[in-house]
């Protein structure tokens, strides 16, 4: 699949993926305050890098294999204001993304991570964002 997540529009700042482990983490500073708890918001962009394919029925969901954090620590929305009413842990549907011809389209998504008071400090690598979509010829 040619859909990728970037920190900035224009394909800048790729987010690491399972396949290549290239790019950065979602949050630049991955240390959260586990003593008092913390909430962080982040805007990222989904982009189609393929000029020959388009994507429809796009859904981003959370795959959780971590024993401490779970999907309810995350909210996703297509606007920053939408995070306030987004259901924790629920998948996010995106609009169709056309082929990257003549130029790629960036679709903004917003994430909110909430770490509760008393959360053990550690690296939680069992939380992954999964993109599912119908891939069609351009």
pTM for the whole thing?
A: 0.84
Q: Does domain 3-137 have CATH number 1.10.3470?
A: no
Taking CA 85 as the corner, what is the angle to CA 80 and CA 87, rounded to the nearest 5 degrees? 110
Are the CB atoms for 81 and 108 separated by under 8 Å? no
Quickly count: other Cβ atoms within 10 Å of residue 2's Cβ: 18
Q: What is the CA radius of gyration of the chain?
A: 15
CA distances, 117 to each of 15, 120, 124, 128 (Å):
27, 9, 16, 22
Q: pLDDT digit of tens for each residue in the chain (138 aa)?
A: 788 889 999 989 888 766 555 667 777 666 777 778 888 899 999 999 899 999 999 999 988 777 767 788 899 999 999 999 999 999 999 999 999 888 899 999 999 988 888 887 766 667 788 899 999 998
């Amino acid at each position: 699949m040619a859909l990728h997540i970037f920190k900035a529009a224009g394909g800048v700042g790729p987010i690491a993926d399972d396949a290549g482990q290239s790019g950065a983490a979602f949050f630049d500073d991955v240390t959260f305050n586990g003593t008092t708890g913390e909430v962080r918001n982040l805007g990222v962009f989904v982009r189609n890098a393929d000029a020959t394919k388009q994507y429809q029925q796009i859904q981003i969901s959370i795959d959780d294999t971590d024993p401490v954090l779970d999907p309810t620590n995350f909210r996703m929305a297509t606007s920053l204001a939408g995070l306030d009413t987004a259901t924790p842990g629920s998948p996010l549907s995106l609009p169709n993304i056309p082929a990257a011809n003549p130029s790629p389209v960036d679709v903004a998504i917003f994430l909110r991570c909430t770490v509760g008071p008393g959360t053990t400090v550690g690296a939680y690598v069992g939380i992954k964002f999964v993109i599912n979509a119908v891939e069609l010829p351009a």
